[in-house]
């Protein structure tokens, strides 16, 4: 469905300015890093086909299997030979079991492909009996942070700055700890991570000084602690090099034995790998190694059988399942509720049974909806354009650009940036779609009063009464505006550069006392309510008379409330916590997104 687009209804003021010139598999261990941001892609080739649409309900057994032989930025000696073959073998084995696993297989995937597949996997595995992630390929540990490498991960050179190198890996590889965290968030009864990779690290790269050095730790990854209900398996113990093509065939053959509990499967696999690798070492065909497991399985998980015995039971005995509503109502500021998209929700103070997302809706969240429903042309969006006038001055205008949209806002965004160019009606459709994915929960746009409760009442502004905004409280226009735009003397909120002209990744600035990010700055946010002029104070209406108007310029449509302020907002009155703006429900802008509220469907 494509909505007609109206020119923006926001109350804004133009600015004018004078002119100016414009071999081995290497394993990884957990990290605390947040998941990487990734550029939007229209099509993802997975295996030899495409991703299926997002499933509405979890399967009982779900697996994501990744195998990587090819690495675009590694020399010939760094290419692998059997990782994809091992991944195919395990995929075939899992789908051939009874009960069978629902398996997604990636062969030589890029970072973007892995990101989208992981997001889909966490949705499919929601509250499953067993959720399994398998990876065969390269991995590295770098100064305590551990990463699995994708086909397009660039490790052929090192940065002398540890922090900058971490940031490179953060954006180009898969942090293992994030994978573990996302698997934990599925709520699956049994969660497995299986890594067929070495635990030494012979990867070398050229440093900034031109010398060769090992990327990260020479001793391989350290011990990993599994969260409750999870088992993490490595094909080789710490400091060992794994023989290619040994662990996975043994593991795949062992898990097909009827009636073996999960620990019996791993114990028998470990024994056979040790015995076979001992013989390989004796005959000069390989090295000695044995797998290692780190487990915090619950009692029921210890009895899980990949292939049931003659009685036909998987011999699992879990406590009663905790429902999504139970998990929602247990949410706190320190332990938020995490939904199927990885969105985090905390209670709205003073609003029983209402929970608000800690961040603005991300590009990754909206993409899941767009891909599932086959969202097509949006009819364009209003984006900020700098116009050069005849007298040489420059003016900012919002213009309807026909090819602009959530996936093309006119400036670079990653998966963790807030989605923009989404109108009120489309934001509501996203909430309705998400409600259908998660029975028992109702997602919606927040009410104006709920947004006010979330921002709190510490003072005139979201951070208090200090003006201009102190460092770190939000993404507002600063000196980066003058650096990015032609002309000089543009209006800004402060005289420093906060690092972001246009949007910033969500949760990049300080959290407020209730656990929410970016209620001031970054992007403006739609609310459910129809706009009433009386929502604004008398001095606001006096300073900006256009806010008296409640009906759109079409004379019929009641405009909707917009709260907060965006990366473009420089007018002090709009930065106040209590300020309300408004817009046509079918209008979208590149500085406006939305935040989602959730509540139990049957209170």
Predicted confidence band of residue 57 (pLDDT cuts 50, 70, 90): very low
Task: Please indicate whether the domains covering 46-51+60-244+290-297 and 359-375+409-600 agree at the CATH topology level.
Answer: no
Q: How many whole angstroms separate alpha carbon 125 and alpha carbon 131?
A: 6
Indicate whether 212 pLDDT > 90. no
Indicate whether 113 pLDDT > 90. yes
Given this model, what pLDDT does residue 267 score?
Answer: 92
Q: Give the Cβ contact number of residue 381 at 10 Å.
A: 28
Residue 464 is classified by DSSP as: B
261-296 confidence digits (pLDDT tens): 899 999 999 999 999 999 999 999 998 888 988 888
Proportion of the chain above pLDDT 70, given as a percent: 82
For domain 359-375+409-600, give the fold.
3.90.1580
Q: How many whole angstroms separate alpha carbon 583 and alpha carbon 526?
A: 9
Helix H or strand E segment including 134 = strand 130-136
Contacts by residues 385-394 (CB-CB < 8 Å, ≥ 24 positions apart): 386/485, 386/486, 386/487, 388/19, 388/486, 389/16, 392/18, 392/19, 393/16, 393/17, 393/18, 393/19, 393/487, 394/15, 394/16, 394/17, 394/19, 394/485, 394/486, 394/487
Predicted confidence band of residue 205 (pLDDT cuts 50, 70, 90): low
For the chain, the first-to-last Cα distance in angstroms comes to: 32
Instruction: Kindly state the tokens that stand for 41.
Output: 């892609």
Give the residue-averaged pLDDT of 513-540: 97
The single residue listed with the structure tokens 């006010």 is: 452
Q: Give the Cβ contact number of residue 275 at 10 Å.
A: 12
CATH tag for 46-51+60-244+290-297 (out of 3.40.50.12780, 3.40.50.1460, 3.30.70.960, 3.40.50.2030): 3.40.50.1460
Q: How far is CA 237 from the centre of its chain?
A: 31
No. of helices (H) and no. of strands (E), the chain: 14, 25
Given this model, what pLDDT does residue 6 score?
Answer: 39
Share the mean pLDDT of the chain: 84
The neighbouring-strand residues paired with 233 are: 194, 293
Given this model, what pLDDT does residue 18 score?
Answer: 35
- Lowest average pLDDT, out of 143-157, 341-355, 539-553, goes to 143-157
Proportion of the chain above pLDDT 90, given as a percent: 61
Given this model, what pLDDT does residue 239 score?
Answer: 65
Predicted confidence band of residue 3 (pLDDT cuts 50, 70, 90): very low
Given this model, what pLDDT does residue 326 score?
Answer: 87
Indicate whether 186 pLDDT > 60. yes
Domain ranges in the chain?
46-51+60-244+290-297, 359-375+409-600
Which residues, in sequence order, are CB contacts of 100 under 8 Å at separation 6+?
61, 94
Instruction: Kindly state the tokens that stand for 15.
Output: 């600015």
Q: Please give the backbone phi and psi of residue 131, each rounded to the nearest 5 degrees, phi first.
A: -125, 125
Q: How many whole angstroms separate alpha carbon 334 and alpha carbon 104?
A: 33
- Lowest average pLDDT, out of 2-11, 141-150, 432-441, 494-503, goes to 2-11
Q: What pTM, to 2 d.p., does this model score?
A: 0.58
Torsion over CA: 260, 255, 125, 363 (sign): positive
Q: Strand 139-142 vs strand 145-148: parallel, antiparallel, or unpaired?
A: antiparallel
Q: Which residue has the higher pLDDT, 302 or 601?
A: 601
DSSP-based three-state secondary structure for 11: coil
Name the residue among 182, 7, 68, 144 with its Cα closest to residue 584. Answer: 7
């Amino acid at each position: 469905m494509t909505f007609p687009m109206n020119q923006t209804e926001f109350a804004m003021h133009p600015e004018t300015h004078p002119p100016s010139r414009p071999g081995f598999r290497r394993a990884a261990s957990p990290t605390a890093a947040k998941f990487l941001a990734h550029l939007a892609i229209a099509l993802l080739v997975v295996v030899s086909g495409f991703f299926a649409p997002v499933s509405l309900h979890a399967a009982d057994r779900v697996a994501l299997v990744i195998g990587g032989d090819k690495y675009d930025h590694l020399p010939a000696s760094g290419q692998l030979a059997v990782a994809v073959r091992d991944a195919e073998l395990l995929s075939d084995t899992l789908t051939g079991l009874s009960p069978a696993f629902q398996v997604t297989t990636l062969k030589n995937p890029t970072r973007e492909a892995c990101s989208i597949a992981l997001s889909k996997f966490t949705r499919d595995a929601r509250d499953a009996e067993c959720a399994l992630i398998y990876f065969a390929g390269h991995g590295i540990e770098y100064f305590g942070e551990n990463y699995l490498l994708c086909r397009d991960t660039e490790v052929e050179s090192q940065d002398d700055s540890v922090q900058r190198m971490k940031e490179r890996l953060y954006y180009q590889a898969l942090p293992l700890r994030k994978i573990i965290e996302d698997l934990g968030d599925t709520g699956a009864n049994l969660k497995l991570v299986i890594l067929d990779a070495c635990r030494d690290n012979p990867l070398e790269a050229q440093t900034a000084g031109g010398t060769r050095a090992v990327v990260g730790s020479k001793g391989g990854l350290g011990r990993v602690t599994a969260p409750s209900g999870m088992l993490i398996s490595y094909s080789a113990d710490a400091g060992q090099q794994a023989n290619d093509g040994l662990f996975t065939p043994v593991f795949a053959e062992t898990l097909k034995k009827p009636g073996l509990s999960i620990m019996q499967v791993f114990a028998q696999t470990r024994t056979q790998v040790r015995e076979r690798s001992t013989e390989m070492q004796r005959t000069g065909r390989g090295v000695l190694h044995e797998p290692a497991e780190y487990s915090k399985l619950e009692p029921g998980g210890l009895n899980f059988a990949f292939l049931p015995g003659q009685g036909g039971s998987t011999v699992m005995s879990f406590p009663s399942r905790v429902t999504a509503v139970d998990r929602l109502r247990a949410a706190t500021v320190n332990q938020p509720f995490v939904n199927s998209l990885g969105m985090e929700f905390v209670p709205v103070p003073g609003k029983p049974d209402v929970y608000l997302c800690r961040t603005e809706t991300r590009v990754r969240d909206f993409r899941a909806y767009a891909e599932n429903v086959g969202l097509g042309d949006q009819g364009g969006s209003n984006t900020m354009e700098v116009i050069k006038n005849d007298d040489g001055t420059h003016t900012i205008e919002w213009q309807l650009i026909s090819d602009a949209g959530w996936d093309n806002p006119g400036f670079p965004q990653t998966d963790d940036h807030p989605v923009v160019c989404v109108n009120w009606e489309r934001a509501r459709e996203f909430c309705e779609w998400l409600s259908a994915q998660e029975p028992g929960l109702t997602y919606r746009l927040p009410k104006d009063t709920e947004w006010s409760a979330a921002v709190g009442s510490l003072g005139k502004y979201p951070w208090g009464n200090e003006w201009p905004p102190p460092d770190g409280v939000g993404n507002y226009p600063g000196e980066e505006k003058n650096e990015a735009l032609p002309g000089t003397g543009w209006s800004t909120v402060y005289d420093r550069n906060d690092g972001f002209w246009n949007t910033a990744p969500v949760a990049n600035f300080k959290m407020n006392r209730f656990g929410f990010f970016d209620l001031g700055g970054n992007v403006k946010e739609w609310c459910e309510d129809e706009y009433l002029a009386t929502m604004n104070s008398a001095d606001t209406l006096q300073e900006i008379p256009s806010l008296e108007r409640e009906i759109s310029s079409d004379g019929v449509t009641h405009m909707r409330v917009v709260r907060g302020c965006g990366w473009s907002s420089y007018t002090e009155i709009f930065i106040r916590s209590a300020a309300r703006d408004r817009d046509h429900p079918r209008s979208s802008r590149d500085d406006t997104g939305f935040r989602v509220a959730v509540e139990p469907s049957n209170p």
